[in-house]
Chains A and B, each alone.
Chain A
Amino acid sequence: MYKKLSNLGFVIGIFFIIISLILIIGGLISSALSYKLNFYTGFTFLLFGILMVFFNRNNDQQEEN
């Protein structure tokens, strides 16, 4: 786990996933956050976060091989 956490791409991916969840889930449960712009941005951040985590997982596997 420490190895993953010391991988910057993984950390950045997790950060953007958390921010996207705040925007998306917040928008679903609270009228104060229910704006189209929050949803669009949230999904973009989610996609970016997943890609960062995914690509860095592949990099880790390549380094191990």
Chain B
Amino acid sequence: MNLHIADYLIIIVYFLFVIGVGFIIKKKIKTSNDFLTSGRNIPLWITSLAFISANLGAQEVLGMVASGAKYGIMTVHFYWVGAIFAMIFLGVFMMPFYYGSRARSVPEFLKLRFDEKTRGLNAISFAVMTIFSSGISLFALAKLLEVILHWDFDVSIWLAAGIVMIYTFLGGLTSAVYNEVLQFFLIVLGLSPLVIVALHDAGGWSNIKTLLQPEMTHAWKYMGHADSNPMGINFMSLIFGLGFVMSFGYWCTDFLVVQRAMMAKNMNAARRTPIIAAIPKMFMPLIVVLPGVIAITLMQPALASKGFSIPSDGKGGLDYTMTLPALISHYYPTGLLGVGITALIASFMSGMAGNVTAFNSVFTFDIYQSYFVKNRSDKHYLIVGKMATVAGILFSIMTAYIATGFNNINDFLQLVFSFVNGPLFATFLLGMFWKRTTGHGAFWGLLAGTLAAAATHGLTLAEGKGGWIYPLYEIHSGMGQAFIVASVSWIVNFCTTIIVSLFTKPKPESELKGLVYSLTEKPSYRQNKWYLKVVPLAIILIVATLILNFIFF
């Protein structure tokens, strides 16, 4: 793939704009809250788009296109089962607690609801995860640019990290969020022509259904048994593992995304943020799943004349991760090629900036201010927040270089995610809806859930991974293994938290107002029009999601 001067010009314009946004926002930054939490002053449309953009990093864009090619239309489950319902639940039930408690972060909410040790455990594991995730994003970007454009690996790492550092250092969370919205439009509008042209070239959806195996074009029909679908899981594992544990664990408790809703101007806007975000999220499969399905269709013998192919992985299989770059290279001419490459770069930088801004908040509020230096001036914490941003970027660069020495560091990261995020939702669910849950119960439940996840991974084997304790049980796919690990960890956390809570003393009810459902006054917006209310919007979205599932059944 060779770039023309016009392609470079588009990339340069993008870089100038993201840095320019940082300089513009810098003038608004006066306090640590402005820098780390945006001062709760961001309009609804921006918080909503930022909410899904924070999840629209490189792993999402490249990964979902790759899954579309590998597993077919079943990949939509990550949206229509594994995202929309959890986003609605967050908006309807959980945002009142997050926003109403005035907590500045998810770990801080855990401190208010439970105790300091539960906050500490969550804050430290989250901080480590964000640095790893940011570093992996950086590594993947540099590797991709090295492979497809033959750019120097070191230059790509330092250039991308430098640009993210400039705009996050200058404008903090607001700057990152503004750029996430710009990146959202760039990714959607930049990849839309690809979908239209490639779909036309493949003969439309009807031809795709004719040419592919039926299990590649049906979302549910072949989910009855794990052996009868390419994902290797049955509908029960999917619904509980992905649709409940992993999905709710991520969308309802991961500070990276929840932070975007917490920036809203008021409670109603905060509650509507994930619900409004669910609308574009519902249609994202058109941009990130459909291209993968089209790509695998174009490789069928009947369409061999189109000359498209997914690169080989060198082991006799296909390198599915390269599906999107291969499509861009095949269909985009000079000019639009620059737009496509910029969209890819944007997705990597968006993922990295999101992690760094979540890291600096958690580090400053939940680690530094809580455990090291308390009761200092706001200016002091603003400086610490800025230093944490620089440190976060430098740690990310370090992680990116560490990743060059390991083939499977991304798998390791995903595993850590399932260990940490999997059980976390049980803690929140019990904490928010059962006033008897205690701090000791939450802490030991989280710890037991994480250990149970590790043990399940060590006792199961899938695609050569896991089984490091003893390969007791073999699972068809790595994805199925991740669902089972998350499910077991959730159940163990849930049960442990209940048992320990029953034997320990709960907080008095007066301290739990605004933190537990039964002790919190329900927000009422009777004066609003129906489309401004949370529940009617949620019902419409649920019905629309069910209809989409039936259409592609």
> Does B373 sit within 8 A of A, measured CB to CB?
no
Task: Please determine whether B10 and A35 come into contact, CB atoms closer than 8 angstroms.
Answer: no
In the complex, A19 Cα to B10 Cα: how many Å?
6
B27 and A16 contacting across the interface, CB-CB below 8 Å: no
Q: Is the interface of B mostly helix, strand, loop or mixed?
A: helix
Q: How many A-B residue pairs have CB under 8 A?
A: 76
Check A15 against B6 for contact (C-beta < 8 Å): no
Beta-carbon contact of B193 and A40 below 8 Å: yes
B333/A16 in contact, CB under 8 A: no
Cα separation A63 to B490 with both chains bound (whole Å): 48
Query: Do A26 and B189 touch (CB < 8 A)?
Result: no
B181: Cβ under 8 A from any A Cβ: yes
Per the bound structure, the CA–CA distance linking A15 and B339 in Å amounts to 12
On whether the beta carbons of B335 and A5 are closer than 8 Å, the reply is no
Contact of A38 (CB < 8 Å), options: B24, B28, B185, B336:
B336
Number of interface residues of B (CB under 8 A): 29
Determine whether the beta carbon of B28 is less than 8 Å from that of A33.
no
Q: Using A8-B178, A12-B185, A15-B182 as known contacts, say yes or no to A35 and B13 having CB atoms under 8 A apart.
A: no
Q: What is the 8 Å Cβ interface bit string for chain B, positions 330-373, against chain A (1 contact, 0 not)?
A: 01111110110000000000000000000000000000000000
A48-B178 CB under 8 A given contacts A2-B24, A23-B336, A37-B197:
no
Let me know if B541 is at the binding interface, CB within 8 A: no
**Interchain CB contact under 8 A, A41 and B336:** yes
Q: How far is it, in angstroms, between the C-alpha of A41 and the C-alpha of B333 when the chains are bound?
A: 11
Residues of A within 8 A of B193 (CB): 37, 40-41, 44
Evaluate contact between B24 and A6: CB separation under 8 angstroms: yes
Task: Give 1 or 0 for each of B1-29: 1 = CB within 8 Å of chain A CB.
Answer: 00010100110011001001100110110
Closest Cβ–Cβ distance, residue B343 to chain A (whole Å)? 11
Interchain CB contact under 8 A, B27 and A2: yes
Contacts of A6 in B (CB 8 A): 24-25, 27-28
Complex interface residues of chain B between 18 and 69 (CB less than 8 A to chain A): 20-21, 24-25, 27-28, 46
How far apart are the CA atoms of A37 and B185 in the complex, in Å? 18
Q: How many residues of A contact B (CB 8 A)?
A: 25
Asked whether A37 and B332 contact (CB < 8 A) given A11-B17, A15-B17, the answer is yes
Hey, what's the 0/1 contact readout for B172-192 against A, CB within 8 Å counting as 1?
A: 000000100110010001000
What is the distance, in angstroms, from B291's C-beta to the closest C-beta of chain A?
A: 16
Q: How far is the CA of A33 from the CA of B334 in the complex (A)?
A: 6
Q: How far is the CA of A30 from the CA of B13 in the complex (A)?
A: 19
- For A41, list chain B residues within 8 Å (CB): 193, 336, 339
**What chain B residues lie within 8 Å of A23 (beta carbons)?**
6, 335-336, 339
Q: How far is the CB of A48 from chain B (nearest CB, A)?
A: 7
A22 proximity list for chain B (CB < 8 A) = 6, 9-10, 13, 335, 338
Q: Which residues of A contact B181 (CB under 8 A)?
A: 8, 12
Q: Can you identify 19 A-B contacts, CB atoms within 8 angstroms? A: A6-B24, A11-B17, A11-B21, A11-B24, A12-B185, A15-B14, A15-B17, A15-B182, A16-B189, A19-B13, A19-B339, A32-B334, A33-B333, A33-B335, A35-B335, A37-B333, A37-B336, A38-B334, A45-B189
